[in-house]
Chains A and B, each alone.
Chain A
Amino acid sequence: MGVGGFFTSKLDEAIGWARKYSIFQYPFVTACCGMEYMATACSHYDIDRFGAGLPRFSPRQADVLFVVGTISQKMAPVLKRIYDQMTEPKWVVAFGVCTCTGGFYDNYATVMGIDTIIPVDVYIPGCPPRPESVIDGLMKLQDKITAQVQRY
């Protein structure tokens, strides 16, 4: 690693630092976990501290896809399309056990975890997860964003 490597790794750090505090999330809310997402997103827990205070309700303006709630087989192509519409760089957070594994649903209608459709960066288990665990997941996502190596 020469001088160039030093500069690119420092640049990575700077970009990662900037990105981790500008998380524009797209909340893909389909079920009861949405209430817990709203509780987290409101002023009481103040996720603006982590730069995630502004949800964007268009996937084209969002960096992080929050999949909040059960995904049915019928909803799966919609979720895939939303994911495809997001621009790079993008991350996905599976919010609640239904999105992580299918949860207690074991039936003909439910997708057994959204990682069968799209790649997932952070899993937040819970039924629904408490705001504290959501914030924990958000901070893990921030660590992941910081550590990401860029390709130039």
Chain B
Amino acid sequence: MPILDELRRRFGDAIVETDDHRADLTAIVARDALLDVLAHCKDDSALAFDVLMDLTAVDYQKFPGREDGPRFEVVYHLYSIARNHRLRLKVRVDEDDARVPSASALWPIANWLEREVWDMFGVRFEGHPDLRRLLLYEEFVGHPLRKDYPITRRQPLIGPAT
């Protein structure tokens, strides 16, 4: 597909892997080049990805065949209203070094989506203006969508709201 070819040509080794499953495009990007790739996808007139449809993460701990690889994948779903095409970008991060540059300067919606990913998975977004928990409360211990979060763990009750 031209989009993936264009990305590979422009960014070279920073595009770790690409996949074209029935025109459903995915590119795995190295973390250091992520912001450049995202900015290019947004600003290039042929790509023109003006919508960040979703930003989420996947925990691959104990995933069959991926036990040794990086634990988390942060996933960006991009859509272009003008061109009517889509692209999925993924960036792999390790548990010890779960940091990703923030995309909140490119798409304002990334602000809350990144806060949700921090809340649920504990992936930090560097350069985020206000990285607080979004859905849970400050007293919550841990990140519940991580695979090693015990399903029966009970959080302490929080006191009356002041």
Contacts and interface: CB of A to CB of B under 8 A. Distances in A.
A80 B144 contact: no
A106 B152 contact: yes
Interface stretch (A19-27, A34-42, A91-99, A108-116): A108-116
28 contacts: A73-B137, A73-B140, A73-B155, A73-B157, A74-B136, A74-B137, A77-B158, A77-B159, A77-B160, A77-B161, A78-B161, A80-B160, A81-B160, A84-B160, A106-B151, A106-B152, A107-B144, A107-B151, A108-B140, A108-B144, A108-B153, A108-B155, A109-B136, A109-B144, A111-B157, A112-B154, A116-B157, A117-B157
Contacts of B152: 106
A80 B149 CA distance: 28
Nearest to B145: A108
B32 to A, nearest CB: 33
Interface string B135-146: 011001000100
A76 B155 contact: no
Interface residues of B, number: 15
Main secondary structure of the interface of A (DSSP, over half): loop
A84 to B, nearest CB: 7
Interface of B: 136-137, 140, 144, 149, 151-155, 157-161
A77 B136 CA distance: 14
Most buried by A among B137, B157, B160: B160
A77 B144 CA distance: 21
A76 B155 CA distance: 12
Given A73-B137, A74-B136, A108-B144, A81 B161 contact: yes
B142 to A, nearest CB: 8
A108 B133 CA distance: 15
B126 to A, nearest CB: 26
A129 B155 CA distance: 28
Given A106-B151, A116-B157, 19 more contacts: A73-B137, A73-B157, A73-B158, A74-B158, A76-B157, A77-B158, A77-B160, A77-B161, A81-B160, A81-B161, A106-B152, A107-B144, A107-B151, A108-B140, A108-B149, A108-B153, A109-B144, A111-B157, A117-B157
